[in-house]
Structures are given as structure tokens and as C-alpha cells.
């Protein structure tokens, strides 16, 4: 979802990088809390039902935000319902696979594999949007995929010397497939932001994913106990709040300044995984995640440099009066 926010700094405010960074870190913490709640409830409810709660209870938060910023009417205006539907469909599938993976793998591992999505966006943007991918980005993407393979290898092979755990191997595949669909969703977002407001994309995604998740209703939905229901409702509220914080953060600082703080989620995942779920990450997960993070930051840094170069070129071409 970060690409959505990066392009959505409409109605720009005064630059305040520190405030933007704090809002971004707040969104990372809130999203990680949401993921922890989904993981804690994963034994009690199926992924499709978790997607419904996550999406449906995010809607009130988004609406309150739009009311508070006096952007309700203009923020929800759209002329591309079909585009929102396809973005919602792909994003809902990504969320479903991601939530399924949370029930099968440790939180740090799910977080680390999820970092493959921004790398895949580079590939898909070249394939579907015709974006130019130069040698530097190809190298960075290849480096990132090497890190992902390091994380996945113990789950999918007997390289560690033990037997393959079927559930964990399935979890690794599920999370990776979720990352693929998450990257595709970001490609749809890149198209939508050219003609649609960020607030509309955020709102209609929540609506579409809540409705689409109902397709899974015949496949095992349950009546959750009060504690589980409370966790699911809280996950939805945190999801909406996280999106508000994320979108707001890009109004105060450039994407190149804020984007690297996405990777603070790994530190939080390690802490929550250990303290709450008793998960001790392997050195393979830590090392592979470090490589993926480094590759992602390389891409962000390079994009920032290219953006500055484009700005200088535009200024040079602008007639001085």
C-alpha cells in the first residue's frame, strides 16, 4: 500500500520531514499490531473471515478521517468503478494469502517474505506499465530475490538436514503467492492514482475487499468467541488507522525520505514474535531479511536520485522570467 500513499500527497501541506517520519513509523507499528491480532485469531477463524473483519471495520475509520479533513464528498468521487474492482480483487486475494500465511509461519518470517512485493513491483511495472528497468534496478531486484531464497530454502528443501514440515512449506508458498498478488495490486494502484484520489482508492478497496471476502462464507466461517471477535474488530480498526497514518505521512515528506522506514516492521516483527508468540527466528531468516531490506533501500535510494535529476532537468527547461 505504500505506493498508493507515495503518489497520493494531494492537497500538499508544508514540508515537515520529522512529522512525516513519525506518522510513517506510527503506521508501521499499527499495521504490525493488526497482523499480530490476525495471527492470534488464525486458529479460530479462516482467512476469508479475517479479511472481512479487517476490511469492514476499517471503513468507519476511513470515513471519520474524511469527515475530519472535510474531504468526504470529493474524496469518494470516482469515475472508474471497474478499476477499483480489479484493484480490490487482486488486493483481496493478496490479503487472504497473507492472513493464511500468518497462521502457518512465524511473524518475522511472514514479514520478511512479504518484502518480496516491492521487488516484484519493479518487474511487473516493466512488464505491464512499460517502465524502463536499468541495470542498477535489475541488480537490486536480483539481490533481493537472493535474500528471499535464503529465507525460503529451509522451508522448501531439506538443506537444513531435517525433514520438511508440510504445513510450514505450505505457509512459505502461500506467503510468497500473497506477495505476488500484493505486487500486482500495487501495479493497479499505479494506474488508478493517475486519475483517482488516494482517499477513493483507500475507501473503495476496503468496501470491495469486505464484499469479495463474503465469497468465502460457505467455506468454513464460524461464530467467534467474544475474545476472538474483539481481536478481529480491533484488527479492522487498526487497519483503517494504519492506512490513515500512512497516507498522511506522505503529505509532510518525500517518498524517498519516508519509504525506508517500512523496514522498521522487521524489528517489530522480531520483538512481537519473540515476546508474544515465543518465536525465535533462525539466522537464515535474519540474514535473508537483511539482504532483502538492503536491496529495497538500494531501489528507494536510486529512485530518489532519479527523481532529483528529473526535477533539476525540469527546472533547467523552465524559462526564467
Q: Which residue in the block uniquely carries the three cell numbers 505521512?
A: 249
Q: What's the N-to-C CA distance of the chain in angstroms?
A: 41
Pick from 1, 3, 32, 5: nearest CA to 20: 5
Per residue in 168-215, pLDDT (tens digit) is 889 999 999 999 999 999 889 888 888 888 888 899 999 999 999 999
In the predicted model, is pLDDT for residue 225 greater than 60? yes
| pLDDT value for 8 | 42
d(CA 302, CA 239): 30
| pLDDT value for 228 | 97
Per residue in 76-111, pLDDT (tens digit) is 888 889 999 999 999 999 999 999 999 999 999 999
Contact 58, 234 (CB under 8 A): no
d(CA 30, CA 118): 20
pTM score, whole prediction? 0.86
Please give the distance of CA 143 from its chain centroid, rounded to a whole number: 20
Q: Which residue in the block uniquely carries the three cell numbers 493517475?
A: 194
Of the CA atoms within 13 Å of residue 41, those in its CB half-sphere come to 31
d(CA 210, CA 13): 32
Q: Which residue in the block uniquely carries the three cell numbers 484520489?
A: 197
Per residue in 226-276, pLDDT (tens digit) is 999 999 999 999 999 999 998 888 788 777 678 888 899 999 999 999 999
d(CA 100, CA 170): 10
List the chain domain ranges. 2-317
Contact 130, 295 (CB under 8 A): no
Residue 210: all three cell numbers together:
469486505
| pLDDT value for 7 | 43
Question: DSSP characters for 130-148?
Answer: -----HHHHHHHHHHHHHH
* Confidence band for 18, pLDDT divided at 50, 70 and 90: confident
Amino acid at each position: 500500500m505504500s505506493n498508493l500513499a507515495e503518489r497520493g500527497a494531494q492537497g500538499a501541506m508544508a514540508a515537515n520531514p520529522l512529522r512525516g517520519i513519525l506518522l510513517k513509523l506510527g503506521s508501521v507499528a499499527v499495521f504490525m499490531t493488526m497482523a499480530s491480532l490476525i495471527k492470534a485469531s488464525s486458529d479460530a477463524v479462516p482467512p476469508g473471515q479475517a479479511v472481512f473483519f479487517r476490511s469492514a471495520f476499517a471503513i468507519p475509520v476511513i470515513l471519520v478521517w474524511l469527515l475530519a479533513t472535510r474531504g468526504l464528498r470529493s474524496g469518494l468521487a470516482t469515475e472508474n468503478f471497474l478499476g477499483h474492482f480489479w484493484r480490490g480483487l487482486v488486493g483481496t486475494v493478496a490479503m487472504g494469502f497473507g492472513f493464511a500465511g500468518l497462521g502457518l509461519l512465524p511473524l518475522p518470517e511472514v514479514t520478511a517474505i512479504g518484502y518480496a512485493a516491492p521487488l516484484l513491483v519493479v518487474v511487473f511495472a516493466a512488464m505491464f506499465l512499460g517502465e524502463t528497468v536499468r541495470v542498477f534496478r535489475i541488480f537490486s531486484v536480483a539481490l533481493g530475490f537472493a535474500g528471499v531464497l535464503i529465507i525460503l530454502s529451509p522451508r522448501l528443501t531439506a538443506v537444513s538436514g531435517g525433514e520438511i514440515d508440510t504445513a510450514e512449506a505450505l505457509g512459505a508458498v502461500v506467503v510468497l503467492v500473497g506477495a505476488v498478488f500484493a505486487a500486482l495490486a500495487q501495479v493497479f494502484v499505479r494506474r488508478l492514482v493517475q486519475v483517482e484520489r488516494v482517499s477513493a482508492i483507500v475507501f473503495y478497496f476496503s468496501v470491495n475487499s469486505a464484499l469479495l471476502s463474503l465469497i468465502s462464507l460457505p467455506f468454513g466461517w464460524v461464530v467467534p468467541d467474544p475474545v476472538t471477535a474483539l481481536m478481529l474488530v480491533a484488527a479492522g480498526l487498526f487497519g483503517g488507522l494504519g492506512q490513515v497514518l500512512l497516507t498522511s505521512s506522505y503529505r509532510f515528506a518525500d517518498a524517498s525520505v519516508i519509504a525506508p522506514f517500512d523496514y522498521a516492521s522487521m524489528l517489530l516483527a522480531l520483538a512481537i514474535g519473540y515476546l508474544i508468540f515465543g518465536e525465535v527466528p533462525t539466522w537464515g531468516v535474519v540474514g535473508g531479511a537483511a539482504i532483502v531490506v538492503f536491496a529495497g533501500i538500494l531501489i528507494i535510494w536510486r529512485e530518489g536520485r532519479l527523481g532529483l535529476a528529473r526535477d533539476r532537468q525540469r527546472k533547467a527547461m523552465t524559462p526564467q522570467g
